[in-house]
Chains A and B, each alone.
Chain A
Amino acid sequence: MATVRVVPCLDVRDGRVVKGVRFQGLRDVGDPAQQAAAYAAQGADEVVLLDVTATLEDRGARERTVDAVRRGLDVPLTVGGGITNSDQARALLGAGADKVAVNSAAVRRPALLGELAREFGRQCVVLAVDAQADGSGGWTVATRSGRQRETLQAAAWAREGERLGAGEILLTSWDRDGTGDGYDLELIAAVRAAVGVPIVASGGGATPAHMVAAVAAGADAVLAASIFHDGVWSVGNLKLVLAARGVEVRP
């Protein structure tokens, strides 16, 4: 079986890596190409680049960032944020992304997932699901960087996304994002029960124990940002602890 992936996430704005809490209060934490290469050298299994404010930026800038990151990176690169059609996906893949993640645009127009899968293959298509607890034990989908609450249920939407062409689910708990309170394990389990494709757990992961729990709940990869940016954990040390706790990771 494939090993559990440890995935640093770079939220990018205006060509710089930023980090906030629940997508707000963004602060500058570095250069994307330098950080991606440093994480890969530490043992990152993949790097995710999310353009958190893509809808407010010009597109050429995004491709320049992807190109710069790609030149120094020898592990897979997933890019997401504001992708609304095949042309944009093609440009990002052409600049060096290996997978593209779509969120808001797929909610608006689900057929986008099928279009991307047919042109680039399912293994290139990631459905990013930002989930918000609905207060009654379920989760609804949030779009537009968390600003808009949809009526869609997260697990049902993930299942529909898989049917339409998504080859992976990037599952973010909006409630936990940037808090360090741990992944939303019930959310992961609910989506795991709904889909057969890999799940990348995101939002709140700050300790090896959080990650062990996410894997037990059904995640195939664990994504984190703050703990790596702030130097709380190097990817390498984190993987050593995960391995010692019985999680199969790439050494």
Chain B
Amino acid sequence: MSDVMIIDTGLANVRSVEVALQRLGATTRRVTDPSDLARADRVVLPGVGAFGPGMANLHARDLASSVRQRALAGLPTLAVCLGLQLLCEGSDEAVGGRGLGVIPARVRRLSAAARVPNLGWCAVADMDAASGAEAPRAPVHAYFAHSYAVPGADLERLRASGWQTLTADHGGLFLAAARRRGVLACQFHPELSGAWGARLLRSWLENAEQEMAPWQR
């Protein structure tokens, strides 16, 4: 089946996403070199930790422009948690620090009206589908572990740039996932989101560049 390269900057915990992809039959390899990325069919940009060190690490290993180029080109790329945030323009977590600028949004701290960090399962909704004729399906839940997110106010900008979005609510609406061509960016952890998370990963592995978002298949 698929060969997946997982960017291993030494900061992020990649083990959970690695075994989740292996359970689905993918072979995985941890990579740290830009030349590996050029050859990769599928790339995972994982992430736990803070925005500033995350970006610094990508730059230090000369990975930032390779990741940016392939994500802009819509090549199969899965960004998880901090990975999604690194694809954005910037984050309040690292004042002055710039992100990869692929997703047209800025990352903000979660509202203090809810528990921060958000460590738990939130219902995710498909706003694209909800606005259409299709009836909303049964709610699905995904596992989040974060203190920052793209706020709901930025979602119009994303959709205007061709991104399909999933949203969740934790003291306010925020971006749960964004998808454009082969790029799937999840604020939640699909690898820790039970059977639904596994289905999402499988869908991305098998048909990354199809018309429909993986959560619509």
Contact = CB atoms under 8 A, between A and B. Distances in A.
B20 interface: yes
B15 A198 contact: no
Contacts of B145: 76, 98-99, 123-124
Interface in B60-114: 82, 112, 114
A220 B15 contact: no
Nearest to A43: B194
A78 to B, nearest CB: 10
A233 interface: no
B25 interface: no
Given A76-B192, A198-B117, A198-B120, A120 B49 contact: yes
B141 interface: yes
Interface residues of B, number: 39
B28 interface: no
Contacts of A76: 143, 145, 189, 192
B117 A2 contact: no
A70 B117 contact: no
Decide if the interface of chain B is mainly helix, strand, loop or mixed: mixed
A75 interface: yes
Interface in B1-40: 13, 15-16, 19-20, 23
Interface in B102-159: 112, 114-123, 139, 141, 143-147
Contacts of B48: 120-121, 123-124
Contacts of B116: 196-197
Given A74-B195, A121-B48, A121-B49, A2 B122 contact: yes
Nearest to A90: B13
Contact of A96 (B16, B112, B115, B198): B16
Contacts of A74: 20, 23, 191-195, 197-198
B11 to A, nearest CB: 8
A5 B121 contact: yes
Nearest to B10: A90
Interface of B: 13, 15-16, 19-20, 23, 48-50, 82, 112, 114-123, 139, 141, 143-147, 169-171, 189, 191-195, 197-198
